[in-house]
Chain A
């Protein structure tokens, strides 16, 4: 009888416990910090919008931060440290400096924070997965677009405008571009300029390059700011018919330039998908899932003639309510 009573008590306790458990659900949200290079460009706005879409869908508490300009790796490192301090379980990072953020990232990883790299990589073994454009391939795409409009006889003289030299994605794009151009007999890269990531700096560099080397008939910019600078330079110099301009990413201005002819090809990434996937993977890593080391999103070469194709419309023009 005593034994029975004891089992009875035990079962009663279990019963209450199960009832309580079924009532109380785990409401704790995952904490993810998304740290990018800057927060003011169209590209990053789209990344942000993808990030927040995923945050809503996967019940993640996400914040989206970046330094004032795309060269300030120190500020970015501080943001990483802050995120770790504030209890982020995962960090989604687009690193400004491939090398100089490595240590900070390793420290964060040692503190148990999962690291997802998006857009631009960082030199750390602790990055669980990279999500973004295959930048080397994107460089090749840009090169193909740059030489595609010329006949075999013509002399292709190329000028490049690139940004902060320690950023991984810009270097990879340029590398892909250079490697492809080497295989093209009638193409040569005349000069390469480096500018800061803002329109004015890029424009100055482009104007300087185009004035110094009047023979340049192809000019290539490797991110959104470089593209706008080139577009402005071409417009200012009035050489839109003479120079074939290739740029990266889109915004309303650069799309207008594509329409009016200052820019001839845009290599368009999928920033919304990068942001979305980055946060999704961060949430997944916190839950203990594994992903392959590289997850590439597609790039599309857009010209004036295909920019209003139905599928490309969807890619180029953000849907604003």
Chain B
């Protein structure tokens, strides 16, 4: 079965590979996109949650810190109350600032910010203080309880400008007549340590603002101050506590319990995004590779359990196409149900076809046999008439012996011809049949030919088709012998085939006119013209039908030398 040119055909395995690949890729793509979506959402959610947690924790820490600052202020307030003079107070407070690392200075202010007593860990107090950032009259007067300033530069000491935050409290009654406010300037060291240690994600951090939105402490304070970095403080100030998304930054806000400061945790989603992208790319690549591997394994297995049987089935079919005779189907061990069904059906079909062919062949043979039998049953009317004429003539001449011999030969001829309807008779009978014919013919063609038999006695009891030799002798008498020249000679021999012990060769040879090669070939193909009796072709056909192609007639002839017809039959003993 060949496809026409231009007619495209796709193999089963290609279709399977394509569809499996498509399915796998589609499945993987869908899975990955779903996975990416879920993953990115969960990442963002995690980021929000962790930001909020960081903000809350920081707020608690800052709260604690503010509380501790207030406690320190209360303690100092206690010290102030127990002190007699400003000088004594400064001495005491100096000691405190040396012990407490995060206290930069402690100041006792009058109502308008005039310094009554001041002690600090810094150097020398300025003689002429032009600006005091720690004292904010408006704020101080307005606030009840603890007063908390924004972060600012401390300006009271010579050549010292530290960043501090001031916490102050109004005294209940004036100290040393004028003292109204006690203020502590706190350095950021303590809170900075904590804030710097807070990490949110890889690049995230926390910072503190006051309620106005000014930064109190930021881990990258110097970058903010230098304008390299900025925080979206306006946005943050306007929003309540919670999580805010701002382009690729997540802010989590939490106001401390006393409401004075707010903590903000910052997470960069950009960083999440790039990380996510590389992770997704890697996982996609891995998934694709895994899929490809699985696909290959599947293909290998598939080709073993499906493709191979299919191919072998196709091969079998082609073999069957070429040579249906004696076909035996391989396979039958297919693991795939459908293929097994196909294979079984095909097997069934081949068996059926073989049976049918056998049947047809048998029927044909039977038909031929019937035809032959009908032919065998016919008696050449000319032969019978001529023979009877000869007998009559002998009787009239008073040659009763010859007549009797003739009649007995004729009778034997007919008897053996009939042979109770059997096809195979012994070679001995066949030779007697041939001899009877020769006897009759030798009376008719008086002294025109002689004949001789040469029979291997061990073969006499073997079987051969009846009326095999007689048509050959008939042919030799009528067509082979040249009766006008000299006496013809017909030799009949039976012997084992020299090339095969199990075959028998029967030869009928004459010394007549001989035949050309064309005539030899024609004689085996031509039906007998008078359509009665059995022709040479019939003998040949019959032998082949009975014993197979190997057997039959072989004609050797040379012009003016003679013709030898050889019959080859298998050796078959009569049981």
Q: Is the CB of B189 within 8 A of A15?
A: no
Can you list, as one digit per residue, whether each of B274-292 has a CB less than 8 Å from chain A (1) or not (0)? 0000000010011001101
Residues of B with C-beta under 8 A to A272: 222-223, 225-226, 228
- Taking chain A's interface residues, is the majority helix, strand, or loop, or is none over half, making it mixed? helix
Report B133-144 CB contacts with A as 1/0, cut-off 8 Å: 100000000000
Check B158–A276 contact: CB distance below 8 A: no
Q: Which residues of A contact B226 (CB under 8 A)?
A: 50, 270, 272-273, 276, 315
* CB-defined contacts of A316 to chain B, threshold 8 Å: 153, 161
A320 shortest CB reach to chain B, Å = 7
A256 contact set on B, CB distance < 8 A: 158-159
**A22 at the A/B interface (Cβ < 8 Å)?**
yes
CA distance A298 to B227 in the complex (A): 10
Cα A85 to Cα B160 in complex, Å, equals 42
Number of interface residues of B (CB under 8 A): 40
B282 touches A22 (CB 8 A): yes
Q: Does A259 contact B (CB under 8 A)?
A: yes
B286 touches A273 (CB 8 A): no
Contact for A8 among B189, B196, B286, B300, CB less than 8 A: B300
**B201 CB-CB contact with A under 8 Å:** no
Contact yes or no, B225 A319, CB < 8 A:
yes
A14 to B161, CA, bound (A): 62
Are A11 and B228 in contact, CB atoms less than 8 angstroms apart?
no
In the complex, are the beta carbons of A4 and B296 less than 8 A apart? yes
Q: Is B220 touching A7 in the complex (CB atoms < 8 A)?
A: no
Interface residues of B in 200-217 (CB under 8 A from A): 214
Q: Is B432 an interface residue (CB 8 A)?
A: no
Chain B residues, CB < 8 A from A22: 282, 286
- Tell whether A28 is near chain B: CB-to-CB under 8 Å: no
What are the residues of chain A within 8 A of B155 when measuring CB–CB? 259, 308
Bound Cα distance A50, B222 (Å): 8
How far is B155's CA from A5's CA once the two chains are assembled, in angstroms?
A: 80
Instruction: List residues 134-193 of chain A with CB under 8 A from any CB of chain B.
Output: none
Residue A53 interfacial (CB < 8 Å)? yes
The smallest C-beta distance from A312 to any residue of chain B, in angstroms, reads: 10
Q: Is A290 an interface residue (CB 8 A)?
A: no
Is there an interface contact between A276 and B159, defined as CB atoms closer than 8 Å?
A: no
Q: Are A53 and B303 in contact (CB under 8 A)?
A: no
In the complex, the answer to whether B300 meets A1 with C-beta atoms within 8 Å is: yes
With A and B bound together, what is the CA distance between A49 and B239 in angstroms?
33
Instruction: Answer yes or no: A252 CB below 8 A from chain B CBs.
Output: yes
Is B163 in contact with chain A by the CB < 8 A criterion?
Answer: yes
Across the interface, do B224 and A320 meet the contact criterion of CB distance under 8 Å? no
Distance A273 CA – B155 CA, assembled complex (angstroms): 25
Shortest C-beta distance, B563 to chain A (Å), equals 64
Q: Does residue B130 face the partner (Cβ distance < 8 Å to A)?
A: yes
How distant is the Cα of A15 from the Cα of B153 in the complex, in angstroms? Answer: 60
Q: Is the CB of A276 within 8 A of B282?
A: no
Q: Is A236 an interface residue (CB 8 A)?
A: no
Is residue A82 contacting chain B, with contact meaning CB distance below 8 A? no
Closest residue on chain A to residue B227 by CB atoms: A273
Complex Cα distance, B160 from A256, in Å, reads: 9
User: Quick check: A11 and B293 within 8 Å, CB to CB?
Assistant: yes
Residues of A within 8 A of B128 (CB): 260
Within 8 A of A (CB), among B144-179: 152-153, 155, 158-163
Alpha-carbon gap, A53 to B225, bound state (A): 13
User: In the complex, A199→B228 CA distance in Å?
Assistant: 31
Cβ of B15 under 8 Å from chain A: no
Q: Does B299 contact A (CB under 8 A)?
A: yes
Interface flags for A1-45 (1: CB within 8 Å of B; 0: not) read 100110110011011001100100000000000000000000000
Minimum C-beta distance from B151 to chain A (A) = 9
Most buried by B among A11, A14, A252, A314: A314
A interface, CB within 8 angstroms of B: 1, 4-5, 7-8, 11-12, 14-15, 18-19, 22, 49-50, 53, 252-253, 255-256, 259-260, 270, 272-273, 276-277, 298, 304, 308, 310, 313-321
30 contacts between A and B (CB under 8 A): A4-B299, A7-B296, A11-B289, A11-B296, A15-B286, A15-B289, A49-B222, A252-B160, A255-B161, A260-B128, A270-B227, A272-B223, A272-B226, A273-B227, A276-B223, A308-B133, A308-B153, A310-B214, A313-B133, A313-B152, A314-B224, A314-B225, A317-B161, A317-B163, A318-B222, A319-B163, A319-B225, A320-B162, A320-B163, A321-B188
Please give the residue numbers on chain B whose beta carbons come within 8 Å of chain A beta carbons, in ascending order.
Answer: 126, 128, 130-131, 133, 152-153, 155, 158-163, 188-189, 192, 196, 214, 220-228, 282, 285-286, 289-290, 292-293, 296-297, 299-300, 303
